[in-house]
Chains A and B, each alone.
Chain A
Amino acid sequence: MYKLFIAMRYLKRRIITYIAIAGVSMGVMVLVIVLSVMGGFQREFHEKIRGTMADIMITQDNFEMDDYEELIEKVLKVESANGEKMVDAAAPYIQNIILIKGLRIDFGFIKGIDPLREPAVTRLREYLLREEETEIIARYDTIEYQISGREHFLENVEAYARSQGQSKKDLEDNPMYKLYKRELEILRDDYAEVKENYEKVKERKPFTDEEILMLFGTRKTDLPGIVVGIEMFKHYRMEIGGEVVLLTAASLDVDEASQQRFEVLGAFRTGMFENDFRYAIGQLNEIQKFIGVGDCVSGISVKTRKSASGKDLFGVDEVRKAVENAIDARADSGIVVQTWQEQNRTLLQAVRMEKWLLAFIIFFIVIVAGFTIVSILAMMVIEKTKDIGIIKSLGGTTSGVMGIFIMAGAFIGTVGSALGSFLGYLFVKNINEVAGVIESITGYHPFPPNVYYLDRIPTQMEPTEILWVVLPTILVSFAFALYPAIRAARLNPVEALRYE
Chain B
Amino acid sequence: MSNRDAMQVEKGAELIVGSGLKKSYWAGKRELPVVKGVDISLRKGEVLMICGPSGVGKSTLLHMLGLLDPPTSGDVVYRGENLTSSSPGRQAAVRNRSIGFVFQFYHLLPDLDVVENTVLPLMVKNSVFSWFSAKRGHREKARRILASMGLGERLTHRPSQLSGGERQRVAIARALVSEPEILFCDEPTGNLDTKTSGEILEVLWKVKEEFDQTFAIVTHNINLAKQGSRHLNMIDGKIYKPEEMEHAQEKS
On A, residues with C-beta under 8 Å from B are 1-2, 4-6, 9-10, 12, 386-387, 389-398, 400, 494, 497-500
In contact, A494 and B124 (Cβ under 8 angstroms): no
Smallest CB separation, B124 vs chain A (Å): 5
Q: A497-B103, A500-B105 are in contact. Are A394 and B68 (CB under 8 A)?
A: no
The one of A1, A9, A393, A397 in contact with B88, judged by C-beta atoms closer than 8 angstroms, is A397
In contact, A396 and B107 (Cβ under 8 angstroms): no
Smallest CB separation, A1 vs chain B (Å): 4
A sample of 15 inter-chain contacts (CB < 8 A) reads: A1-B123, A1-B130, A2-B123, A2-B124, A4-B128, A6-B111, A386-B107, A393-B66, A393-B95, A394-B174, A395-B125, A396-B92, A396-B96, A494-B69, A497-B63
- Report the nearest B residue to A5, measured CB to CB: B123
* Chain B CB within 10 A, most for which of A389, A394, A396: A394
- Report the nearest A residue to B90, measured CB to CB: A397
A2 to B59, CA, bound (A): 27
Q: Kindly supply a per-residue 1/0 record for chain B positions 106-139, scoring 1 wherever the CB is within 8 Å of any chain A CB and 0 otherwise.
A: 0111111000100011011111101100000000
Tell me the chain B residues, 93-107 only, with Cβ under 8 Å from chain A.
93, 95-97, 101, 103-105, 107
In contact, A392 and B92 (Cβ under 8 angstroms): yes
> Which residues of chain A have C-beta atoms less than 8 A from B126's C-beta?
1
A6 to B123, CA, bound (A): 10
Smallest CB separation, B142 vs chain A (Å): 13
* B89 close to chain A: CB less than 8 A: yes
Smallest CB separation, B214 vs chain A (Å): 18
- Report the nearest A residue to B87, measured CB to CB: A397
> Which residues of chain B have C-beta atoms less than 8 A from A494's C-beta?
63, 68-69
- Report the nearest B residue to A395, measured CB to CB: B96
> Which residues of chain B have C-beta atoms less than 8 A from A12's C-beta?
111
> Which residues of chain B have C-beta atoms less than 8 A from A6's C-beta?
109, 111-112
In contact, A391 and B124 (Cβ under 8 angstroms): yes
A1 to B124, CA, bound (A): 6
In contact, B96 and A394 (Cβ under 8 angstroms): yes
Q: A387-B109, A395-B96 are in contact. Are A400 and B124 (CB under 8 A)?
A: yes
A396 to B95, CA, bound (A): 9
A12 to B112, CA, bound (A): 11
Contacts A9-B111, A387-B111 given; 17 further ones with Cβ under 8 A? A1-B126, A1-B130, A6-B111, A9-B116, A387-B109, A390-B109, A392-B92, A393-B101, A393-B103, A394-B101, A394-B124, A394-B174, A395-B95, A395-B97, A400-B92, A499-B105, A500-B104
Q: A494-B68, A498-B59 are in contact. Are A394 and B120 (CB under 8 A)?
A: yes
Q: A1-B123, A393-B101, A394-B120 are in contact. Are A497 and B107 (CB under 8 A)?
A: yes
A438 to B170, CA, bound (A): 58
A398 to B63, CA, bound (A): 17
> Which residues of chain A have C-beta atoms less than 8 A from B112's C-beta?
6, 9
> Which residues of chain A have C-beta atoms less than 8 A from B121's C-beta?
394-395
6 closest residue pairs by CB, A with B: A395-B96, A1-B131, A2-B123, A500-B105, A9-B111, A397-B92
Smallest CB separation, B117 vs chain A (Å): 9
Q: Kindly supply a per-residue 1/0 record for chain B positions 126-168, scoring 1 wherever the CB is within 8 Å of any chain A CB and 0 otherwise.
A: 1110110000000000000000000000000000000000000
A459 to B130, CA, bound (A): 46
- Report the nearest B residue to A493, measured CB to CB: B68
Smallest CB separation, A496 vs chain B (Å): 9
> Which residues of chain B have C-beta atoms less than 8 A from A500's C-beta?
104-105, 191
Q: A1-B127, A4-B128, A5-B123 are in contact. Are A395 and B109 (CB under 8 A)?
A: no
- Report the nearest B residue to A396, measured CB to CB: B124
> Which residues of chain B have C-beta atoms less than 8 A from A386's C-beta?
107
A499 to B69, CA, bound (A): 15
> Which residues of chain B have C-beta atoms less than 8 A from A498's C-beta?
59
> Which residues of chain A have C-beta atoms less than 8 A from B95's C-beta?
392-395
In contact, B59 and A395 (Cβ under 8 angstroms): no
A396 to B101, CA, bound (A): 13
> Which residues of chain B have C-beta atoms less than 8 A from A390's C-beta?
107-109
> Which residues of chain A have C-beta atoms less than 8 A from B131's C-beta?
1
> Which residues of chain B have C-beta atoms less than 8 A from A394's C-beta?
95-96, 101, 120-121, 124, 174
> Which residues of chain A have C-beta atoms less than 8 A from B109's C-beta?
6, 9, 387, 390-391
> Which residues of chain A have C-beta atoms less than 8 A from B128's C-beta?
1, 4
> Which residues of chain B have C-beta atoms less than 8 A from A2's C-beta?
120, 123-124
> Which residues of chain A have C-beta atoms less than 8 A from B103's C-beta?
393, 497
> Which residues of chain B have C-beta atoms less than 8 A from A497's C-beta?
63, 68, 103, 107
In contact, A389 and B111 (Cβ under 8 angstroms): no
* Chain B CB within 10 A, most for which of A5, A393, A400, A500: A393
- Report the nearest A residue to B93, measured CB to CB: A395
A4 to B96, CA, bound (A): 18
- Report the nearest A residue to B106, measured CB to CB: A500
Smallest CB separation, B125 vs chain A (Å): 7
A5 to B120, CA, bound (A): 10
A397 to B131, CA, bound (A): 18
A304 to B95, CA, bound (A): 74
In contact, B89 and A397 (Cβ under 8 angstroms): yes
Smallest CB separation, B108 vs chain A (Å): 8
